[in-house]
């Protein structure tokens, strides 16, 4: 990619003999907001630590703004890092917390004051500058942590689960805040989350990680609508995922032919699996039969769990439709046209 600003090139990261990240390739453009998304232990924090310079790669290369920084020490990289526990200095005011790093760098006088004031203002805390962290809400403290990193004008700002300490409502607010600050300042930002909703809502691009590698990189729309692997499909809510063998669905009861109407749409040869969201399942007609095992009301929709020869199937239909009782037998279809084709399946 021509606009590469930060590149990770065949990066392998290990703790002693434990390889946590293997041969990771990633290119990030200047000003992008990228989310690292994945289950616990997949290597998100490890990757961030290596970008920050807190962990030396076992092999591979990191470049930033045209320079190889693989062996550059953490304090010379100009990379900001905000952790989940953002550890503000409790005895210092908001102003002094934000000024701290600049003072260490020898910035003083009007230049210091201008930068600190602008940074505090950018996170909406201008009237809180004289308070101490203990006199702020969790979200306000988080904004101080953000201002403290931003004021250093990092080339890249890394945020490791910065919102995970906050309650649901504050999280939503802070999400919007993060996005606003990032777009306002144009800082290149990578944030870690294991919450797919958060990644979809915030990021320009999402990197889905699994077992120390990258499963998929794409825009939120790509990841949500066009998952490439069974893992990503499942992760973003395609709850009916099947491997394909010889153009047939692999089920617990052997290979099953897709419906006749569906077979008119050719499945690309490279397709290794198919996935349907519950709302893509057609309930009430189709070549398959299932028995309702469970049903739950979800406001606008009603969800059904069906026992079927294909294994358990989850379907979601308009709640205004007549409901079906547990034990009822229903026809259903998995329309091929709606399915997400997977190029990797398990
Ligand atoms: N200091 C360490 N020493 C040895 N192994 C470690 C160390 N830190 C992490 N690991 C291992 O490296 C792998 C990746 O860990 P990492 O912290 O990067 O995961 P993560 O994706 O950030 O997970 P989480 O969502 O739980 O924070 C895990 O298997 C973990 O056990
Ligand atoms: Mg982590």
pLDDT tens figures, 139-157: 788 889 888 988 988 999 9
Q: How many whole angstroms separate alpha carbon 20 and alpha carbon 211?
A: 8
- Domain identity same for 297 and 163: no
Question: What's the whole-number mean pLDDT along residues 16-25?
Answer: 96
- Domain identity same for 206 and 255: no
**pLDDT band per the 50, 70, 90 thresholds, residue 305:** very high
So what's the pLDDT on residue 36?
96
- Domain identity same for 158 and 280: no
User: Does 1 have pLDDT greater than 50?
Assistant: no
- Domain identity same for 162 and 260: no
Give the domain range for residue 129: 6-229
Please tell me the distance between residue 65's alpha carbon and the centre of ligand 1 in angstroms: 28
The domain boundary residue, chosen from 209, 229, 249:
229
**Least confident segment among 102-106, 179-183, 274-278, 279-283:** 179-183
| Nearest CA owner, ligand 1 atom 18 | 43
For ligand 1, pick from 13, 44, 211 the residue to mutate: most ligand atoms within 8 Å of CB. Answer: 44
Evaluate whether residue 320 is within a structural domain: yes
Evaluate whether residue 202 is within a structural domain: yes
- Domain identity same for 96 and 163: yes
Find all residues with CB under 8 Å of 322, minimum gap 6, and list them. Answer: none
Q: Which atom of ligand 1 is nearest to the CA of 42?
A: 21
- Domain identity same for 90 and 201: yes
Question: What's the whole-number mean pLDDT along residues 103-123?
Answer: 93
> Where residue 220 sits, what CATH number does that domain have?
3.40.50.300
Ligand nearest to the CA of 207: 1
- Cα torsion for 53, 120, 28, 204, to the nearest 10°? 140
Q: Is pLDDT larger for residue 311 or for residue 173?
A: 311
**pLDDT band per the 50, 70, 90 thresholds, residue 85:** low
User: Does 84 have pLDDT greater than 70?
Assistant: no
| Nearest CA owner, ligand 1 atom 27 | 40
- Domain identity same for 86 and 140: yes
Average pLDDT, the chain: 91
User: Does 83 have pLDDT greater than 80?
Assistant: no
**Least confident segment among 58-67, 79-88, 189-198:** 79-88
Evaluate whether residue 144 is within a structural domain: yes
Place of tokens 């032919």: 257
| Nearest CA owner, ligand 1 atom 24 | 40
- Domain identity same for 314 and 338: yes
- Residue 41 in tokens: 């232990």
User: Does 31 have pLDDT greater than 70?
Assistant: yes
Q: What is the pLDDT of residues 164-205, one digit of tens each?
A: 767 777 778 778 878 887 888 889 999 998 888 889 989 999
Find all residues with CB under 8 Å of 49, minimum gap 6, and list them. Answer: 13, 55
Question: What's the whole-number mean pLDDT along residues 72-99?
Answer: 90
User: Does 262 have pLDDT greater than 60?
Assistant: no
Number of domains in the chain: 2
Please tell me the distance between residue 253's alpha carbon and the centre of ligand 1 in angstroms: 38
- Domain identity same for 269 and 152: no
Please tell me the distance between residue 90's alpha carbon and the centre of ligand 1 in angstroms: 29
The domain boundary residue, chosen from 208, 229, 250:
229
Q: Which atom of ligand 1 is nearest to the CA of 48?
A: 18
Find all residues with CB under 8 Å of 79, minimum gap 6, and list them. Answer: 51, 52, 53, 64, 154, 155, 156, 157, 158
**Least confident segment among 141-145, 204-208, 220-224, 276-280:** 141-145
- Domain identity same for 240 and 199: no
Evaluate whether residue 1 is within a structural domain: no
Contact residues of ligand 1, CB 6 A cut-off: 15, 18, 20, 38, 40-46, 194
- Domain identity same for 295 and 189: no
So what's the pLDDT on residue 264?
59
Please tell me the distance between residue 211's alpha carbon and the centre of ligand 2 in angstroms: 13
Question: What's the whole-number mean pLDDT along residues 109-125?
Answer: 92
- Residue 276 in tokens: 């349907």
Question: What's the whole-number mean pLDDT along residues 29-38?
Answer: 95
So what's the pLDDT on residue 175?
81
Evaluate whether residue 266 is within a structural domain: yes
Residues 213 and 207: beta-carbon distance below 8 Å = no
So what's the pLDDT on residue 306?
98
The domain boundary residue, chosen from 210, 229, 248:
229
Residue percentage of the chain with pLDDT more than 90: 72
- Domain identity same for 203 and 237: no
So what's the pLDDT on residue 133?
92
Q: Is pLDDT larger for residue 302 or for residue 195?
A: 302
Q: Is pLDDT larger for residue 163 or for residue 56?
A: 56
For ligand 1, pick from 41, 44, 165 the residue to mutate: most ligand atoms within 8 Å of CB. Answer: 41
| Nearest CA owner, ligand 1 atom 5 | 15
Q: Tell me the whole-structure pTM to 2 decimals.
A: 0.88
Q: How many whole angstroms separate alpha carbon 324 and alpha carbon 308?
A: 15
Residue percentage of the chain with pLDDT more than 70: 95
């Amino acid at each position: 990619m021509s606009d590469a600003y930060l590149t990770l090139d065949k990066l392998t990261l290990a703790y002693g003999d434990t390889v946590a990240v293997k041969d990771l390739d990633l290119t990030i453009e200047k000003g992008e907001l990228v989310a690292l998304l994945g289950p616990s232990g997949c290597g998100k924090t490890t990757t961030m630590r290596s970008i920050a310079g807190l962990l030396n790669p076992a092999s591979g290369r990191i470049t930033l703004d045209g320079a190889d920084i693989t062996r550059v020490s953490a304090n010379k990289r100009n990379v900001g890092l905000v952790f989940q526990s953002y550890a503000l200095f409790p005895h210092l005011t908001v102003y002094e917390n934000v000024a701290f790093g600049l003072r260490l760098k020898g910035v003083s006088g009007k230049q210091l004051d201008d930068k600190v004031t602008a940074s505090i203002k950018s996170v909406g805390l201008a009237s809180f500058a004289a308070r101490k962290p203990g006199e702020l809400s969790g979200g306000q403290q988080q904004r101080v942590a953000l201002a403290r990193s931003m004021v250093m004008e990092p080339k890249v700002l890394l945020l490791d689960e910065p919102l995970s300490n906050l309650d649901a409502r504050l999280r939503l607010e802070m999400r919007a805040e993060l996005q606003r600050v990032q777009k306002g300042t144009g800082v290149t930002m990578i944030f870690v989350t294991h919450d797919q909703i958060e990644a979809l809502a915030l990021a320009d691009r999402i990197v889905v990680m699994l077992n120390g590698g990258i499963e998929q990189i794409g825009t939120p729309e790509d990841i949500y609508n066009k998952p490439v692997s069974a893992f990503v499909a499942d992760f973003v809510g395609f709850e009916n995922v099947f491997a394909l063998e010889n153009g047939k669905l692999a089920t617990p009861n052997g290979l099953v032919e897709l419906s006749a109407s569906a077979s008119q749409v050719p499945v690309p040869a490279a397709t290794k699996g198919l996935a349907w969201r519950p709302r893509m399942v057609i309930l009430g007609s189709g070549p398959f039969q299932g028995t309702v095992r469970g049903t739950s009301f979800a406001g606008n929709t009603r969800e059904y769990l069906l026992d079927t020869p294909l294994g358990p199937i989850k379907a979601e239909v308009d709640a205004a439709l007549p409901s079906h009782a547990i034990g009822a037998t229903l026809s259903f279809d998995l329309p091929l046209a709606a399915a997400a084709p997977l190029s990797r399946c398990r």
